[in-house]
Structure 1
């Protein structure tokens, strides 16, 4: 299995002979407005794609959308993605994705199998309290296949009971977490903080942790350098990977 961090939450995953594109966001730097009510108001995205859109889409066999917030599926992606590819999603997003013109929207209720890959959908909390409710439902996905590592893509969630349960149920070899500690001017973070990421790694001592969702969107306040320092202090540097945009990491079962 290979995981390439394209940018933010956008991943190219090679798994069981197929290339999956996760949470495509293809806008050029500054093309989108800043998220309102956040500590800085820099337009989004704050970093360029490390490869061309053509390279992002090359050889893609299917798309996975954890949820439809604009930093996980943006107007540029909606316009440029092939509409005939299978697109896996959570139940609340089916109608919206169909309205965007996608022809093969496949809802993962609990689990399903496609091309030798078993998908399981997991839950999460995109924040706490009233803000968490306003952010709407989010999902993660676990992928399993013969002779491949079990992969858990946690999605836009903080550390919560659902994440803990997914780790206990599936015992993943590799965990992709969406970090950045995204936050508004009020309320708690809505994506994983450095403490959350360390909690994931400590709860799953047999897993490798791949951190995405960093240093691109204006409300993501946790930097790679701060996370790297904290991970090191907790003696987890060998198991927690913090890739740069465009970087690919190979994992074996």
Structure 2
């Protein structure tokens, strides 16, 4: 399995012989307005793509955790081939169809696509009233013959649905959306270090990849902060914090860190 972080939550997976683009945000730097009510007022995305857009369009499928603009922006909707299969949560099916995509597949609970199985999981985009205001989000467990099992948590904090997913599926690798994204009021709506640590403590033999960092204006926790805390807790062999464009390779038998 190959996992290449592109930027923010955009990841290119090579799994089961298929290339899957996850949560494509393809706009050039500064093309979008900042997230309102955030302490950082810079325009988004904060950084450029590490690869050309053209290099990201030749994929076998697209997987969406949800359709907030930092996970599926106008540029992605415009540039992606309209016949590419798009897998999404039920609440986003209509929106993706309306954008002209001809092969939209809602994942209610479980969906088999060739040799790959997608299992949709729950999450909580913040806590309390904030989570309700942010709307539904999903994660996915991805299984393929001969590959380590992969959990993409999506925009969630540590919460009972995440814990239940780790208990039930015991993934070999988890991709966590970090950055402690937040507004001027309320707590983080994506994972902060304490959430990442809870995930690590839950499954002691699981590898963790933290993304969703330093590319959107409301994400306040930085890679350097995460790496320092990771090292202080003796978790440098388990937690990867890749740079934009970095490729992680996980062997088919025993997964290793990037």
Could you say which TM-score interval applies, normalised by the shorter chain? over 0.9
Q: Which residue of 1 aligns with 2:130?
A: 131
> Are the equivalent residues in 1 in contact too, given 2:57–2:79 (CA < 8 A)?
no
> Are the equivalent residues in 1 in contact too, given 2:175–2:210 (CA < 8 A)?
yes
Q: Which residue of 1 aligns with 2:115?
A: 116
Match runs of 1:57-136 below 5 Å: 57-58=57-58, 60-136=59-135
Match runs of 1:173-184 below 5 Å: 173-184=172-183
Instruction: Tell which deviates more after alignment, 27-36 or 202-211.
Output: 202-211
For residues 174-209 of structure 1, give each alpha carbon's deviation from its aligned partner in whole angstroms, at most 9, with x where no partner exists.
100000000000001000001111111111111110
Does residue 251 of structure 1 match 2:250?
yes
Cα distance in 1 between the residues matched to 2:45 and 2:111: 33
Secondary structure of the 1:181 match is coil
For residues 89-114 of structure 1, give each alpha carbon's deviation from its aligned partner in whole angstroms, at most 9, with x where no partner exists.
00000000100111111011000110
Taking structure 1 as the reference length, the TM-score comes to 0.99
Match runs of 1:138-217 below 5 Å: 138-217=137-216
Per-residue deviation at 1:118? 0.8
Q: Which residue of 2 aligns with 1:15?
A: 15
Cα distance in 1 between the residues matched to 2:155 and 2:82: 24
Number of equivalenced pairs: 252
Taking structure 2 as the reference length, the TM-score comes to 0.97
> Are the equivalent residues in 2 in contact too, given 1:6–1:56 (CA < 8 A)?
no
Per-residue deviation at 1:244? 0.1
Secondary structure of the 1:79 match is helix
For residues 42-80 of structure 1, give each alpha carbon's deviation from its aligned partner in whole angstroms, at most 9, with x where no partner exists.
00000000000011223x000000000000000100000
Q: Which residue of 1 aligns with 2:256?
A: none
Per-residue deviation at 1:115? 1.2
Cα distance in 1 between the residues matched to 2:233 and 2:194: 10
Q: Which residue of 2 aligns with 1:4?
A: 4
Instruction: Could you list the structure 1 runs, at least 4 aligned residues long, displaced by more than 6 angstroms after superposition.
Output: none
Cα distance in 2 between the residues matched to 1:103 and 1:201: 39
